[in-house]
Amino acid sequence: MTKIFSLLDSPIGELLLTGDGRSVTGIWMQSHRGEWKRTKEWLRDDRAFAVTRAQLTEYFAGERLTFELSLAAEGTGFQRKVWTELCAIPYGETISYGELARRIGQPTAARAVGLANGSNPLPIVVPCHRVIGADGSLTGFGGGIERKRWLLAHEARYSKATQDLFS
């Protein structure tokens, strides 16, 4: 099966989008932990990622709060459970790893949740950046703490603007 990719410039650096022609399988940042390895079977196809590129561009412009994409992340059942729950964290809000563990029904699994969170191959779209330490600290993010800080500030800015529109 042919594997495809696209590159997208963003305010947090170039993003590498990967997919199988039907679904997005990965979003990788420069200097991302667990870097993607391109081999000869990978082909660049920006058109196949037109919807993904448009939605990410809208997100970075503050025009999109949620994503409507076909995703196909590979992971264990536990990881997929964590990733699904990440998508339930509202735009502009954060929760702790412990809270995320409680939400999936495993309140003593905060460390395992942290590992699953760190293994998320679809950051931004599956918003792992919205999970923070119990003390409010910005702990762990595959793309680096500075990118996590930027994403949270971006969402806080546009979340507040959206709230002001409807107040």
Q: How many domains are there within the chain?
A: 2
Same domain assignment for residues 92 and 157: yes
Whole-prediction pTM value? 0.88
Catalytic site residue 128? yes
**Cα(8)–Cα(17) distance, integer angstroms:** 8
Domain co-membership, 87 together with 141: yes
What's the pLDDT tens digit per position in 20-78?
989 999 999 876 555 556 667 788 999 999 999 999 999 999 999 999 999 999 999 99
Annotated catalytic residue, options 125, 128, 132, 151: 128
Same domain, 88 and 123: yes
Res 161: pLDDT: 54
Where b means 16+ CB within 10 Å and e means fewer, 36-58 reads eeeeeeeeebeebbeebbebbee
Full residue range of the structural domain in which residue 161 is found: 77-165
Q: The dihedral of CA 139, 145, 151, 155: what is its sign?
A: positive
Residues 52/60, Cβ–Cβ less than 8 Å: no
Within 10 angstroms of residue 104's Cβ, the number of other Cβ atoms is 16
